[in-house]
Amino acid sequence: MNHPLTVAIQGERASYHDIAAQKYFHQTVSVLECRTFKQVCRGVLERRADVAVLAIENTLAGSILPNYSLLESHPLFIEGEIYVAIHQCLMALPGQTLGDIRMVRSHPMALHQCSEFLEAHPALRAMEAFDTAGSAREIQKQKLPGVAAIASEEAARRYELAILAREIENQRQNYTRFLIISQRPPELRDSTNKASLSFQTAHRPGALVEVLDIFRQHGINLTLIQSVPIPGRPTEYAFHVDITWREPQAFRKAIQGVQKLAAGFKLLGIYQAGELPYDHS
């Protein structure tokens, strides 16, 4: 490619989506900033971006089901994943102290992750905003005294804000799993060892076990399983499943078996499994 890769993200530069994109691609990427996840997907579908980075799962909140729906309802596929440790900082204009702060702005999820810090500081009023980094940018742009943002260390650096408190998230083991999304259909390669799929089964005892038993027979590991009720069809259930394997041939055979047994089978992507962030660097 002659042009730098363009990555659609929800949020702005120095948001956690941006951090995930920089970490995953190990290179300078051009970023398409979007307000909503739907706009992120549209960016790729309309070829304004080559790929998108999409949060799909968080330690605290679990799966982000609306993003699964976006994937399932568009010709978009998962081509990679990355886990990012989320460490929230409280930041304000240089010179401000914690005692000066009256209002804290951030993305609802970030406020939620820091609920214990906020409860311990009742003088701080939480205000929801559409982005972590965007909240930091606004404080600098509008020179807002008395207002702090909850965002990444990168956001403090980018918008020249002073960090008043670090690692204010309730749980230090706090990470988000991001998917790399594009229009390229899934392809099994030697380097790929993980897949995401969805399927439906009849709502009767044993229907799910029969499908999962195919994975067991081929030595395939489950890393995620989640039932999703199908509104208006109470006798059927849909499942999201992530699997990992050592032998590509085992994956191929298992998938053939599952396709025969389960209705509405969809392969959402084949990719290389990301590593969980163990340390906090």
Q: Which of 37, 77, 117, 178 is catalytic?
A: 178
Quote the CA–CA distance of 223 and 202 in Å, as a whole number. Answer: 23
Residue of 75, 94, 99, 232 that binds its own copies (CB under 8 A):
232
CB of 32 to its own copies, least distance (A): 19
Which region, judged by CB under 8 A, interacts with its own copies, from 48-56, 134-142, 172-180, 255-263?
A: 172-180
CB of 59 to its own copies, least distance (A): 5
In the complex with its own copies, the residue whose CB is nearer, 98 or 276, is 276
**Is there a catalytic annotation at residue 244?**
no
Quote the CA–CA distance of 173 and 269 in Å, as a whole number. Answer: 27
Quote the CA–CA distance of 171 and 182 in Å, as a whole number. Answer: 32
Residue 16: closest CA among 165, 119, 131:
131
Q: Which of 6, 37, 132, 176 is catalytic?
A: 176
Q: Which amino acid belongs to residue 15?
A: S
Position 30 contacts its own copies (CB under 8 A): no
**Is there a catalytic annotation at residue 130?**
no
DSSP 244: E
Contacts of 255 (CB under 8 A, 6+ apart): 195, 197, 267
DSSP 94: T
Position 221 contacts its own copies (CB under 8 A): yes
Q: Which amino acid belongs to residue 89?
A: C
Position 273 contacts its own copies (CB under 8 A): no
Quote the CA–CA distance of 279 and 272 in Å, as a whole number. Answer: 21
Position 171 contacts its own copies (CB under 8 A): yes
Residue of 3, 26, 231, 260 that binds its own copies (CB under 8 A):
231
Quote the CA–CA distance of 179 and 82 in Å, as a whole number. Answer: 7
Position 120 contacts its own copies (CB under 8 A): no
Position 263 contacts its own copies (CB under 8 A): no
- Among residue numbers 73 through 102, which ones bind its own copies (CB under 8 A)? none
Look at phi and psi of residue 18 and say left if phi exceeds 0, alpha if psi is from -120 to 50, else beta. alpha
Which region, judged by CB under 8 A, interacts with its own copies, from 19-27, 48-56, 144-152, 202-210?
A: 202-210
Q: Helix 65-72 to helix 37-45 angle, to the nearest 10 degrees? A: 20
Position 145 contacts its own copies (CB under 8 A): no
Residues lying near its own copies in the complex (CB under 8 A) are found at: 36, 38, 59-63, 65-66, 108, 112, 115, 128, 171, 173-175, 203-206, 208-209, 212-213, 215-216, 219-229, 231-232, 234, 237, 239, 276, 278
